[in-house]
Structure 1
Amino acid sequence: MTVGHEFGFELRVCAWAEACWRPERDGAPRIVARQLGTKRRRWDTIVVEVDPEGLRRRAQFGAQRLDADLLHVVRHAPTDWAFYRDALPTPEYPWRYVREAVHRASDRGILETRRDGNKIEIRRAMAYPEWVRRIVAIENKPDLDASAADALTTQLRRDVALGLADEVWVATADDAAGGVQRALLADLPVEAGILVFDDDWTATVEWLPHGLATAASGTRLTSRPADGADRPATGFEYVDADWKAHTRLAIAERAFERGWRSYVDTMRPDCRQFRLVDGAHGYVPACAAKAREQSAAECGGSCADYEPEPPGWRQHGWPIEGGPGATVQAVLADRRQRRRE
């Protein structure tokens, strides 16, 4: 079976990053996720380098992510009982949303609450750890042509100016001649690293990235000259360091919850044609009917090759309890959980 689309390439890059990252010093503890970012920018692959002890303590808060409201509560919860409005920093949104977050945190067992008359008092259940060391963003472009390189250059320049990730990389594949078109890579920002994968899914570092100033304020480029000329952007706005810190933590929390194997949640593993195949560094989905790795958009109930599992399959016991589709989901969920521990 062959990889004929960016989705398959993306999954293999995620599997490689989980097994082999970082290129210059393998072994850094990490969580890998895909299709995460901000409202304005979504990266193909995210590598969150973590502190092992911090990750263990983060796991005590559960497998679900802590959204911005929950983080506001648990990170600032006092060690002694206090009225929540006195204990927490004044938010940029109405207090009623903070009150809702207090109740949600209490329901999840990550915050202690009690009532003192009409007031809700809170106390820290456990300290939220500093578990994120670095965030690395990777853009996957297996078929890099002139048009894709131009669009990618614009995206990377914005990433560099904003400085939300510690590093930005481009992952691409060897061309038919066994190399890459150096002329296309030459226009990429020098701050971006370049990874090239061969047919055996061995990565070569063509260019090491520059570390970005994540702790400083950043610049959000909002536009560029209409003709695409290599000139400064015509519009920009400054982003303060606090916003970047909060956004980085929110991205890390989403990566912690989702990982990169969550693709199965939007596909149909209950189809008789659905398979998991060895993708060199991890399992990736494939379709027996198509004799190739299918994209997430192709794998749905509207697919012409979709065949639901017979009900009898779902009545079997171990090792395929609930049917092959349920087993696939359970295996991927188990591997996702292992990365959190």
Structure 2
Amino acid sequence: MTPDAEFGYELLVCRYAELAWHPSEGSRPALVSRQLGTKDRRWDTVVIELDPEAFERRREFGDRAIDSDLLHVVRGAPAEWAFYRDALPHPGYPWRYVRQAVHRAAGRDLIEKRRDGNRIEIRRKRPYPDWVERIVAVENKPDLDRSAADRLSDQLDHDIETALADEAWLATETTGERVEPALLREMPVEAGILATDFSGGLDADAADVAWHPSDLSPGEGQRRDPETETLRLEIAERAYGKGWRSYHDTMRPDCRHFELRREGRALVPYCAAKGKVPTARECSGSCPEFSPEPPQWRTRGWPIEGGPGKGIERLLRRRRERERDRAERVE
């Protein structure tokens, strides 16, 4: 059964994208994340299509995201030792912040550094690869009434005008009607429409393309400006580090009522006390039903592995890692 909350629907769309991306053009290696974007626009679901060989080289930089300051250092680090201010392009902000990023990058083993008198020199350990091929934005709205359609239309218009993503989609629940209502709403024609049916559980056949999207990437011989390309890479890095299962960071899996329940080939959070999929706002320490695990649960195992909540966190992290492995192997 499809979860009641839009949050639960969002998780199912993310899992569907892992199983069946691209919905109209066949299998493509990809990573899926959620609630990412810029200060002006946040996307529900983000699909990062990638080059498997380049992605394998990206993974040599570790499992954590490389933030914007670190990207400036890692991408600009030279093959031979050089003073960091000579090696890196001007950041547009004071060099002292770059110096801090150099120390952080070396601390994470992303680059090498050494001191030559009062000068800090850097050298790359390995080239940072061009692993991102395309970025796809998906807005999720299971119940597309007219007011919701009006808001989404404005948001999708923004995505198409800025062309920060290479495709823009709307995912909505199918109604079974001959013509899906989403096709009758005033949506931008450039946005694709994905009609989902999770009523029987989630699998790779749980959605159909009701409308194909336009390609928003630059035409042949054209390129995005460097600032936009850097912003896209920052989004991709955050998607790599976060994934879409990171909801355990903002919810309370340490509550005795918190569970994971299966929806076909997906696992979604479930509150046994309220009998539904909770949102992050509901699943908090201020919830009147919140009941923390007893200390005896939290100190199980050796050295201390924790109770069911810690087990849920480990399970979700392992699944994120499994999907990274799978994306790396896809040809």
Assess same fold via TM > 0.5.
yes
SS at match of 1:250: helix
Q: Write the distance in 2 (CA, Å) between the matches of 1:146 and 1:184.
A: 10
Unmatched tracts of structure 1, length 5 or more? 219-239
SS at match of 2:31: strand
The alpha carbon displacement at 1:179 in A equals 6.5
RMSD: 2.2
The alpha carbon displacement at 1:25 in A equals 3.5
Q: Give 1:260-271 correspondences, 5 Å limit.
A: 260-271=244-255
Q: Write the distance in 1 (CA, Å) between the matches of 2:35 and 2:122.
A: 35
Q: AA paired with 2:192?
A: G
Q: Give 1:299-338 correspondences, 5 Å limit.
A: 299-317=283-301, 321-338=305-322
Q: AA paired with 1:339?
A: E
Q: Give 1:30-109 correspondences, 5 Å limit.
A: 30-109=30-109
Contact 1:214/1:241 (<8 A) preserved: no
C-alpha spacing 1:178/1:8, structure 2 compared with 1 (3 Å): farther
The alpha carbon displacement at 1:339 in A equals 2.7
C-alpha spacing 1:248/1:215, structure 2 compared with 1 (3 Å): farther
Q: Give 1:282-301 correspondences, 5 Å limit.
A: 282-301=266-285
Question: Normalized against structure 2, the TM-score is what?
Answer: 0.90
C-alpha spacing 1:268/1:2, structure 2 compared with 1 (3 Å): same
Q: Does 1:278 align with 2:262?
A: yes
Unmatched tracts of structure 2, length 5 or more? 326-331
Q: Give 1:189-228 correspondences, 5 Å limit.
A: 189-198=188-197, 199-200=199-200, 201=202, 202-214=206-218
Contact 1:2/1:293 (<8 A) preserved: no
Q: Give 1:37-186 correspondences, 5 Å limit.
A: 37-175=37-175, 180-182=180-182, 184-185=184-185
Q: AA paired with 1:31?
A: L
The alpha carbon displacement at 1:281 in A equals 2.9
Deviations 1:287-337 (A, max 9, x none): 11122211121111121222111222233339x941111100011011112
Deviations 1:24-74 (A, max 9, x none): 234311110000000000000000011111111111111211111111111
C-alpha spacing 1:30/1:2, structure 2 compared with 1 (3 Å): closer
The alpha carbon displacement at 1:183 in A equals 5.6
The alpha carbon displacement at 1:177 in A equals 5.8
Contact 1:172/1:195 (<8 A) preserved: yes
Could you tell which deviates more after superposition, 260-269 or 193-202? 193-202
| Aligned residues between the structures | 318
Deviations 1:115-143 (A, max 9, x none): 11111111111110111111100000111
Q: Write the distance in 2 (CA, Å) between the matches of 1:243 and 1:255.
A: 19
SS at match of 2:61: coil
Q: Write the distance in 2 (CA, Å) between the matches of 1:209 and 1:34.
A: 20
